[in-house]
């Protein structure tokens, strides 16, 4: 049952106050009227009211003064101003000082209720946005990045320092090491946290589509451009744009991006008028950009613009002490999501967990734990269940001492086996819909089709 909305009424006309109070109470609101604006302001407490309705012309203290005093105590509370002498100048003054709406006397009860509902709806949206923002900031605070190894602590100290400085950051590391998580932590701990964080995978789109997606286009710029459209750079104005797999940017897109980083402006496709925006660029790659520069497929000047600060994330095999912490975290999340009660891993499974090299890093660990929890019937994930997904020694079982022999096969062969099984599992999960499976795998559809062909995956393997 939702609580009643609380409305504060301020008008020196007692009769009007009582009339509004009665109408609002009849419509299910809690209302309290003041005929003294000074007393109303004096007794006003932040978060005690959902809406204020005040007359503009009152003796002793004007409605605009009331509006200003209340906004100083609670900035985001909606205020409706009532006046019998509405002028353009007065309305502009009230709106500039933070009024939500103007109501002209005389008014009908239905009009009052209509304005009240609109104002409260706006207030609810503001509150929901505030809660969502707080949730995001909590989710991406440094305390929620799991790990205790010294290397990670050093990285987080660096992330914390660079977050408050509006500079470009290049995040490097193998696939699945948490590069986007670090980018989000930088954004939500920066002065731009109130604005948008937008991410794009530069390797997931063909060249022509990527350019229009980033920079937008003008109506008529190409066949099918029936109306002008803003790109992600404009959409992220005031906030942060995260370029994942930036090494896949085509050369012509690199040139346009470099101009933006230098001049803070760019041209939409088909447009001759520059567009200026204020966006912080964060980027990430799992490829060697210096090698790409030598090969002539990545611009050296762009590299130095993006790589003002470099943050390198180590692979999970170099953070083995963090594996049990991460595993416990993912088990907790899955228990919450599916209302299960898995308590952890059996001792043999813990050893296997920590001995495995995790070529897919944290993303692979998360997916494997999700799969184990779907299969496990006991309170603890067993060695047998875990071994199905990490191919422990490819058929070996724990020795009598409980230790596990890991991987006699070459690393690349082991990685290919894991990848083939992962793709089969994702295809099965998504009913054979390649678009959905490729999205969860973090790869574009062209790559997904290529790997399906490479590993000879057939429909019967996942149906």
> What is the rounded CA–CA span in Å between residue 156 and residue 402?
35
pLDDT bracket for residue 133 (50, 70, 90): low
> What is the rounded CA–CA span in Å between residue 75 and residue 224?
45
124 and 149 together in one domain: no
- SS3 (DSSP) at 196: coil
Q: The domain that contains 379 carries what CATH number?
A: 1.10.8.60
98 and 209 together in one domain: no
> What is the rounded CA–CA span in Å between residue 57 and residue 65?
10
The per-residue pLDDT for range 141-161, each reduced to its tens digit, is 555 677 777 778 888 889 889
Q: The domain that contains 310 carries what CATH number?
A: 3.40.50.300
> What is the rounded CA–CA span in Å between residue 210 and residue 246?
12
Interval 257-261 mean pLDDT: 93
**344: β partners:** 380
148 and 202 together in one domain: yes
> What is the rounded CA–CA span in Å between residue 160 and residue 194?
17
Q: Nearest 5°: CA angle at 143, between 142 and 146?
A: 95
123 and 144 together in one domain: no
pLDDT bracket for residue 1 (50, 70, 90): very low
Q: What is the DSSP string of 203-238?
A: TSS-HHHHHHHHH-B-TTSSTT--S-B--HHHHTTT
pLDDT bracket for residue 463 (50, 70, 90): confident
Domain boundary pick from 84, 110, 136: 136
> What is the rounded CA–CA span in Å between residue 308 and residue 218?
32
- SS3 (DSSP) at 343: coil
The per-residue pLDDT for range 314-347, each reduced to its tens digit, is 999 998 888 888 888 899 889 988 889 898 888 8
Collect all residues with Cβ–Cβ distance below 8 Å to 285 and sequence separation of at least 6.
Answer: 170, 171, 172, 245, 246, 247
174 and 34 together in one domain: no
Between 406 and 66, residue with greater pLDDT: 66
Question: Residue 439 burial by CB count (10 A; 0-12/13-18/19+): exposed, middle or buried?
Answer: middle
> What is the rounded CA–CA span in Å between residue 257 and residue 318?
34
The answer to whether residue 182 sits within a structural domain is: yes
CB 217 within 8 A of CB 270: yes
> What is the rounded CA–CA span in Å between residue 432 and residue 100?
51
The per-residue pLDDT for range 384-436, each reduced to its tens digit, is 889 888 865 433 444 443 333 333 444 455 566 777 878 888 888 888 888 78
The per-residue pLDDT for range 343-388, each reduced to its tens digit, is 888 888 888 888 899 999 999 999 999 999 998 888 899 988 898 8
The answer to whether residue 1 sits within a structural domain is: no
> What is the rounded CA–CA span in Å between residue 152 and residue 55?
58
16 and 119 together in one domain: yes
224 and 335 together in one domain: no
pTM of the model: 0.59
Domain boundary pick from 69, 104, 136: 136
Q: What is the overall mean pLDDT for the chain? A: 84
Total residues belonging to the chain: 463
The 10 Å Cβ neighbour count of residue 68 is 13
pLDDT at 129: 62
The answer to whether residue 423 sits within a structural domain is: yes
pLDDT at 157: 87
pLDDT at 286: 93
Q: The domain that contains 122 carries what CATH number?
A: 3.40.50.2300
If you search the block for the tokens 């009424």, which residue do you land on? 9
- SS3 (DSSP) at 80: strand
Strand ranges for 26-158 from DSSP E: 30-34, 51-55, 79-83, 101-104
Longest Cα–Cα distance in the chain:
91
Q: What is the DSSP string of 265-309?
A: EE--BT--S-EE---EEEEEESS-HHHHHHTTSS-HHHHHHH-SE
What residues make up the domain containing 28? 6-136
């Amino acid at each position: 049952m939702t609580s009643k909305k609380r409305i504060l009424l301020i008008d020196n006309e007692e009769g009007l106050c009582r009339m509004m109070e009665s109408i609002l109470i009849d419509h299910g609101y809690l209302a309290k009227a003041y005929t003294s604006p000074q007393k109303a302001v004096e007794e006003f407490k932040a978060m005690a009211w959902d809406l204020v309705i005040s007359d503009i012309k009152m003796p002793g203290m004007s409605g605009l003064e009331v509006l200003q005093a209340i906004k100083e105590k609670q900035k985001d509370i909606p205020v409706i101003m009532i006046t019998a002498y509405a002028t353009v100048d007065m309305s502009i003054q009230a709106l500039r000082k933070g009024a939500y709406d103007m109501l002209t006397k005389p008014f009908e009860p239905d009009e009052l209720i209509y304005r009240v509902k609109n104002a409260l709806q706006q207030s609810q949206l503001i509150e929901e946005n505030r809660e969502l923002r707080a949730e995001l900031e909590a989710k991406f605070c440094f305390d929620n990045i799991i790990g205790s190894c010294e290397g990670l602590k050093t990285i987080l100290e660096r992330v914390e320092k660079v977050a408050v400085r509006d500079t470009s950051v290049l995040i490097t590391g193998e696939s699945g090491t948490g590069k986007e998580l670090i980018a989000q932590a930088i954004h939500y701990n920066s002065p731009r946290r109130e604005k948008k964080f937008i991410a794009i995978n530069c390797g997931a789109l063909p060249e022509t589509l990527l350019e229009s997606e980033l920079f937008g286009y003008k109506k008529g710029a190409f066949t099918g451009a029936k109306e002008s459209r803003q790109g992600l750079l404009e959409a992220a104005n005031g906030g942060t744009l995260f370029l994942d797999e930036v090494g896949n940017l085509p050369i012509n897109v690199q040139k346009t991006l470099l101009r933006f980083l230098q001049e803070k402006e760019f041209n939409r496709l088909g447009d001759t008028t520059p567009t200026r925006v204020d966006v912080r660029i964060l980027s990430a790659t799992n490829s060697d950009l210096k090698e790409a520069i030598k090969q002539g497929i990545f611009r050296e000047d762009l590299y130095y613009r993006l790589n003002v600060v470099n943050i390198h994330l180590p692979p999970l095999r170099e953070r083995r002490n963090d594996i049990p912490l991460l595993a416990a975290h993912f088990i907790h999340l899955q228990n919450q999501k599916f209302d299960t009660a898995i308590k952890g891993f059996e001792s043999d499974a813990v050893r296997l967990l920590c001995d495995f090299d995790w070529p897919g890093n944290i993303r692979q660990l998360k997916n494997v734990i999700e799969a184990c929890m779907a299969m496990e019937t006991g309170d603890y994930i067993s060695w047998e269940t875990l071994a199905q997904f990490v191919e422990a020694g490819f058929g070996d079982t724990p020795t009598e001492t409980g230790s596990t022999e890991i991987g006699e096969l070459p690393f690349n062969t082991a990685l290919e086996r894991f990848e083939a099984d992962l793709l089969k599992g994702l295809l099965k999960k998504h009913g054979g819909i390649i678009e959905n499976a490729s999205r969860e795998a973090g790869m574009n559809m062209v790559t997904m089709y290529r790997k399906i062909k490479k590993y000879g995956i057939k429909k019967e393997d996942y149906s």
